[in-house]
Structure 1
């Protein structure tokens, strides 16, 4: 029986799409291995974490302190207080695993190499799952070099698309031979229907996502829908989500004349996040 540790670097929101892949993998492996997870402690525990515990996954919580004032953060930098100490204490408290799998929401998340430096120094093999790689965030050589070293020292690095792999290869200027493409689970039956030009059927397309232009590219999607081909089609898109770019999306709908094509339908993000059933329409 192997000891496998999952680390979620996501400390921003209690739960999100990037958490599904590693948590589902942890649940499946828990039937044959000793599985643990290191995550941030939230005031309200997300229901998927409770499911992990029910499957026998041992959950540990990070030593995350409350956000400090700007003055204290500056003093911390001037005094060169080592931010890696908390991470070392977190991992020292765990049994040495046979493998660590790190779920990385943002490919330029600096907390990654705090973990990978520790794992390398303790000769613990690790793999990384990249949930997001974007070319909209730059950095300087010293940081790129440190990330590149963390990636190349991994047993495996998993990408969710070829585009993400290509972007990472370009940014870090390294041949990621230890990479592999995997699919995020999408557990819905889908029927692909050809849209015939003479077909008068109205197709309602649903998009469940946060109205976040940066992450979801909804502004680019609306620009595409404004093309004559889609304006004259029988498709109608229903966005089921709210914030943070709702007003921008509404203005783009008006700007591109898509009022009859795109409908915004609000959903409760709290209920959605914690698995509470919500009536969509």
Structure 2
């Protein structure tokens, strides 16, 4: 078959939303399918795309931010023609639209429906913070209602999108992302004679990941003399300057630091717990990865977190507010000497609840 993949991601060269479809594309290519990929024009080809291209995948570079600005100035609407151009050129038997966010442009779906080309959608995150409005609503509805399958990485995301569309999606299914750890047992417990080390593993974007809430809690008097250290692991996505200045403003230099980008195994070899107060999520892979490594998760009850984290047994759940996060951290701190045993239980339960091979499972859904 000729199977296409349309990544609706914009703004960054590559992201967590790209792992599932790109690894499924590799597997389908090895199984003998012809793969075509539609991706936003980049200054440099991301490594996973370069690998797919070297193995025979067809890459179609659609317009990037510069083209969009020019088209707004000229009044042109090239997106329909560009969609038609790729669909006619590659001529897929079927293709997948992968959206990192529920507001990503999925208009190619309505064009494909008019051309009689079957497709499915995959949504990686949805929130009530950004609404689909005005004339765009009908385009989004057409895409999702005409899709053969609508895949989501959490049931919560499906529910949120149905509210945005004011329409039901009976063809919806929940799928899982591949993780960046493949352990058969938890990592050894790190040294506990040093400060208790909490890892906030996420891009530095407070609008979603909520790192600012952590600083608001740590500035409270009871945390000043506690042997706890928080490391923000991740690359800057617009808010590192504010976080640095807040750390200085609150006098938290001895308790909070930045670790940059690192691999999950390197992070969890030296950290005791995950701390991630996301304001919204799809399927937070870092939660599952931390639990796989034998670490508890102190997280907000969004996305798949409530399905994985058992309050008081394998972690602690909060809402994305300062008061709720403070309460969750207090509960965690009061039983910190039990974290190692809780982490062992977390590793056991996440393996019971997570697909052993999500890429193969997803690829087979697409083949079907």
With normalisation by structure 1, the TM-score equals 0.77
1:34 aligns with 2:29: no
Q: Give the whole-Å Cα distance in 2 for the aligned partners of 1:89 and 1:169.
A: 30
Aligned twin of 1:263: 257
The answer to whether the 8 Å contact 2:110/2:139 transfers is no
How far apart, in 1, do the equivalents of 2:196 and 2:114 lie?
56
Partner Cα separation in structure 1 for residue 222 and residue 161 of structure 2:
33
Structure 2: 5+ residue stretches without partners: 264-269, 271-368
Q: 2:243 aligns with which of 245, 249, 265?
A: 249
Equivalent residue number for residue 176 of structure 2: 183
2:132–2:164: 8 Å Cα contact kept in structure 1?
Answer: no
Matches within 5 A, 1:44-55: 44-55=44-55
SS of residue in 2 equivalent to 1:66: helix
Q: Calculate the aligned-residue CA RMSD, in Å.
A: 3.3
* CA 107–208 in structure 1, closer or farther in 2 if over 3 Å, else same: same
- The corresponding residue for 1:239 is 232
Report what 1:20 is aligned to.
19
Residue 172 and residue 234 in structure 1: after superposition, are their counterparts in 2 closer, same or farther (change >3 A)?
farther
CA shift, 1:81, in A, is 4.5
In the alignment, the residues of structure 2 paired with residue 230 and residue 155 of structure 1 have an alpha-carbon distance, to the nearest angstrom, of 52
Any residues of structure 2 matched to 1:66-105 within 5 Å, and which? 66-67=66-67, 73-76=72-75, 81=77, 83-94=79-90, 96-105=91-100
- Residues 6, 38 of structure 1: 8 Å contact kept: yes
Partner of 1:6 in structure 2?
A: 5
Q: Distance in 2 between matches of 1:228 and 1:192?
A: 33
Post-superposition offset of 1:37: 1.1
Where structure 1 has 5 or more consecutive residues not aligned to the other structure, the ranges are 273-280
- 2:112 alignment partner in structure 1: 119
Q: Write the distance in 2 (CA, Å) between the matches of 1:220 and 1:209.
A: 14
1:4–1:100 CA contact under 8 A, matched in 2: yes
Q: Structure 1: how far apart are the matches of 2:206 and 2:65?
A: 30
Secondary structure at the residue paired with 1:60? strand
- After superposition, the Cα gap between the structure-2 partners of 1:90 and 1:97, relative to the gap in structure 1 and judged at 3 Å, is closer
Of residues 129, 145, 149, the one that matches 1:136 is 129
Q: Distance in 1 between matches of 2:223 and 2:125?
A: 28
* Number of equivalenced pairs: 259
Structure 2 distance, partners of 1:64, 1:266, is 28
SS at structure 1 position matched to 2:30: coil
When normalised by structure 2's length, the TM-score is 0.60
Shift of the alpha carbon at 1:251?
A: 3.8
1:250 and 1:20, CA in 2 relative to 1: closer, same or farther beyond 3 A?
same
2:155 paired residue number? 162
Residue 277 of structure 1 corresponds to: none
Match of 1:59 in 2: 59
